[in-house]
């Protein structure tokens, strides 16, 4: 959604940290998925929270106000 609306790709590490650290935004399922080498990824489901707090902000374009 962020990529489509802002026409930019968020940093995956920061994005993941933000959405997983917001209480109630994502809930771990307890399952993991392995797509090859490395540590298996943890799976989540949607939680009861409907907004990130504080919200994610997009980078300001050079020369734009704000």
Where in the sequence is the domain holding 18, given as residue range(s)?
Answer: 2-46
pLDDT at 65: 52
21 domain-assigned = yes
Q: Mind listing the pLDDT tens digit for each residue in 14-51?
A: 888 888 888 999 999 999 998 788 889 899 999 999 88
DSSP conformation class of 62: T
**Can you list the alpha helix ranges (DSSP code H) found in the chain?**
2-6, 12-21
Query: Would you call 10 exposed, middle or buried from its count of C-beta atoms within 10 A (0-12, 13-18, 19+)?
Result: middle
pLDDT at 60: 62
29 domain-assigned = yes
- Element (DSSP H or E) covering residue 32: strand 26-33
pLDDT at 41: 87
57 domain-assigned = no
58 domain-assigned = no
Compute how many other C-beta atoms are within 10 angstroms of the C-beta atom of residue 56.
13
66 domain-assigned = no
Q: How many independent structural domains does the chain possess?
A: 1
User: What value does the mean pLDDT take over residues 41-62?
Assistant: 81
- Identify the CA nearest to 49 among candidates 26, 28, 29, 17: 26
17 domain-assigned = yes
pTM over 0.75: no
């Amino acid at each position: 959604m962020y990529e489509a609306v802002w026409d930019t790709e968020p940093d995956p590490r920061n994005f993941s940290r933000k959405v997983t650290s917001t209480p109630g935004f994502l809930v771990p399922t307890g399952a993991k998925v392995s797509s090859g080498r490395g540590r298996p990824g943890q799976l989540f489901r949607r939680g009861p929270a409907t907004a990130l707090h504080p919200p994610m902000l997009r980078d300001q374009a050079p020369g734009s106000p704000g």
